[in-house]
Amino acid sequence: MVILHKPVAGLTRLVLTRFLARARRAAGLRASVNVLVTTNAEMKSLNRRFRGKDKPTDVLSFPAPPDANKNLAGDIAISAEIATQNARFLGHNPAVEVKILILHGILHLRGYDHERDHGQMARREQELRRELHLPLGLIERTETKRRHA
């Protein structure tokens, strides 16, 4: 299920639903995923509540609890405002940025953890971005910023 609480230029519920299905298939995730595209205020609230960080973030992934319905992999929340800002900065469409964030969230729901996996998630994200025709991924951008800072 896709919920658009905050509109994003060039993005409809149908476009997102279709991309979500393609990305799940490409990543080998059979179970369904719920996606919420929302405001910075909501993302800040979720980030504070679940990660103890009092600031908005671009994407959060919430794996389904072990005792949940096996047909649900989990939920992904995305900040429409941060996605739009990042897209502007990187020179691509905000709809593309939301897709990049969805792919990143799907990989987390598949069990990848870029903070601990020695580049495994970054490599998989790069492969899937090429397959899904998406530009530079979230992990690569973060690593590039660190190297040039």
Can you spell out the DSSP letters for 35-77?
Answer: EEEE-HHHHHHHHHHHH---S--SEEEEEPPTTS-TTEEEEEE
Instruction: Work out the pLDDT band at 148, boundaries 50, 70, 90.
Output: very low
Instruction: Work out the pLDDT band at 141, boundaries 50, 70, 90.
Output: low
Instruction: Work out the pLDDT band at 136, boundaries 50, 70, 90.
Output: low
pTM of the shown model: 0.86
Strands 32-38 and 72-79: parallel
Instruction: Work out the pLDDT band at 94, boundaries 50, 70, 90.
Output: very high
Tokens of 55: 């600031």
What is the per-residue pLDDT for 68?
A: 77
Q: What is the CATH number of domain 2-148?
A: 3.40.390.30
- Which H or E run contains 93? none
Break the chain down into helix, strand, coil percent, rounded to 5: 50, 15, 30
